[in-house]
A and B are shown apart, each in its own frame.
Chain A
Amino acid sequence: MSLSTLFDEIKDPKNRPDPYPLYARLAGHPVVRQEDGTYLVSSHAAIRALLFDPRISSADLPPAKSPPTGNPFKDWILQPIKDEIVSRHRPLIFRDPPDHDALRRIVMTQFTISRVNAMKARAEAHLGELLDKRCGAREICVVEDIAYPLPVTIICEMLGVPREDEPTFQGWATQLATALEPDARHDEETQGQTRATFDAISAYMKVLIKEKRRHPQDDMLSGLAAGTEAGAMGEFDLIATSILLLVAGHETTVNLIANGMLTLLRHPHELERLRQDAERAPRLVEEILRYEPPVHFRTRKALADIAIAGEVIPEGAPVVLLFAAANRDPARFAEPRRFDPDRPDNQHFSFGGSLHYCLGAPLARIEGEIALVTLARRLIDPRLVDDPPPYREGASLRGPKTLRLSVDRIA
């Protein structure tokens, strides 16, 4: 099979349980043109160079386009205006400087150290409740029982979304996350569902933001709605940002926890060491991030011809930064296929890099550490029911759909 169709194979759900042999075939081919004109970038050095290259743009979404309704007033007047507004208020993950930087600075004033660190106690308490609920069970699903409910509670708390609305949020987050997959952008059915979800969540956020303005509380949305020392966001940016924080803070962390537990069960020695010494957690989490990243790749667009690694990426070409491949680049990591939490120089790309480096990384690390430490302590003699487990469809946001464990008991 030729390397020029490798990205199709990577996206093929049948390769979800183990895409790593596909990535390994890219060794020695840091930049490969695909038949459809997309460029696949896989080496640590090339990804690093492109992440810091201003000729690479994150604004790679096609313009919004509502489906025709048959009503000429809607189709020719209302919808195009709405599409234009949506296209101009992308979340910052799909924006370039200077807009991106201005928005990010505003968000950072609210993503404070004290707020993030306050989530430690919150996450511990919530995990306790989740496990207590399963007390007496001989089987547990890490995804459904733990990895899914935890991050949604935490991000809702950070934002200031009322607890009773969490289940609704969970559904929205899942739907919007599927829209991040490259193929979903061209799939009409997914696009229709995404638009409906987007409308529902936007309407909800609008009301909530109004409420936060009237009765500000100590949470991110209240802060953003009131305006910050780094400036204020317009209404549309405010809504786009809150939706982004919800989705990004949720789906990715689910994968971190589920991939983490799966990896530990495949390396029981490390699980045992963690059980005995919680101080192992930071190193473990970093190595899990490198070895089984929650996000395998992100897409960009070339704004000019870019010469790199003997190739020229032409202006306008879609670019795939294959972070998960770079994380196992033998030129960067010794024995890359080995799971080794003690590697001294673990500079992975699992939070991306440069301007768009994951804003939520500190929160994700806290949630990952606390979840793994708690599971290691409280699950007595856990064993995988299916190995490999069934995977969710996403090739970029990749993780198990379910992760069933049989246990002696839950302590």
Chain B
Amino acid sequence: MRVVVDLNRCQAYAQCCYAAPESFELRGAEILVYDPAPTPEHRGRIERAVQACPVRAISVEFDDTIGTAS
């Protein structure tokens, strides 16, 4: 699984940090740090993070299906 966050879009709403705290972390008020290659057991939580992002800044590629969320 590959995760990319468009940091130009990201507005630090931090919704991904609630949905998948082990993969996304906000340092200070607005610097987002994330895991670009989470392990498969995080899939559900990553999907939540993608869905919860108010500016749709997170894209993810699953190894079985490419580009299910953009």
Contacts and interface: CB of A to CB of B under 8 A. Distances in A.
A362 B15 contact: yes
Nearest to A348: B54
A113 B18 contact: yes
A376 B47 CA distance: 21
A189 interface: no
A345 interface: yes
Contact of A357 (B17, B48, B51, B54): B54
A388 to B, nearest CB: 28
B54 A279 contact: no
Interface residues of B, number: 18
Interface in B34-70: 44, 47-48, 51-52, 54-56, 69-70
Main secondary structure on A side of the interface with B: helix
Contacts of B54: 347, 351, 353, 357
Interface in A276-306: 279, 282-283, 285-286
A361 interface: yes
B44 A279 contact: yes
A345 B15 contact: no
Given A344-B70, A345-B70, A282 B17 contact: no
B4 to A, nearest CB: 15
B15 A361 contact: yes
A344 B69 contact: yes
Contact of B47 (A282, A344, A351, A362): A282
Nearest to B21: A113
A357 B11 CA distance: 11
Interface string B1-39: 000000000010101011101000000010000000000
A365 B51 CA distance: 10
A116 interface: yes
A351 B54 CA distance: 8
A15 interface: no
Interface string A104-118: 010000000100110
Given A282-B47, A361-B15, A347 B55 contact: yes
Nearest to B68: A344
A346 interface: yes
Contacts of A282: 19, 47-48, 51-52
Contacts of B15: 361-362
Contacts of A365: 19, 48, 52
Nearest to A366: B18
A404 to B, nearest CB: 30
A142 B37 CA distance: 41
Nearest to A353: B54
A117 B18 contact: yes
A351 B18 CA distance: 15
Given A116-B18, A345-B56, A362-B15, A286 B70 contact: no
Residue of A282, A361, A365 contacting most chain B CB atoms (<10 Å): A282
Nearest to A361: B15
A362 B69 contact: no
A345 B51 CA distance: 9
Contacts of A354: 11
A299 to B, nearest CB: 20
A361 B70 CA distance: 21
Contacts of B17: 113
B55 to A, nearest CB: 7
A113 B52 CA distance: 14
A382 to B, nearest CB: 25
A113 B17 CA distance: 8
A362 B70 contact: no
Nearest to A369: B48
Residue of B13, B17, B18 contacting most chain A CB atoms (<10 Å): B18
Contacts of A345: 56, 70
Contacts of B18: 113, 116-117, 362
Per CB-CB distance, the 8 closest pairs between chain A and chain B, nearest first, are A362-B18, A282-B51, A282-B48, A286-B51, A113-B21, A347-B56, A344-B70, A113-B18
Given A346-B51, A365-B48, 8 more contacts: A113-B17, A116-B18, A117-B21, A282-B19, A285-B51, A286-B51, A344-B69, A353-B54
22 contacts: A105-B29, A113-B18, A116-B18, A117-B18, A117-B21, A279-B44, A279-B47, A282-B47, A282-B48, A282-B51, A283-B51, A285-B51, A345-B70, A346-B56, A347-B56, A357-B13, A357-B54, A361-B15, A362-B19, A362-B52, A365-B48, A365-B52
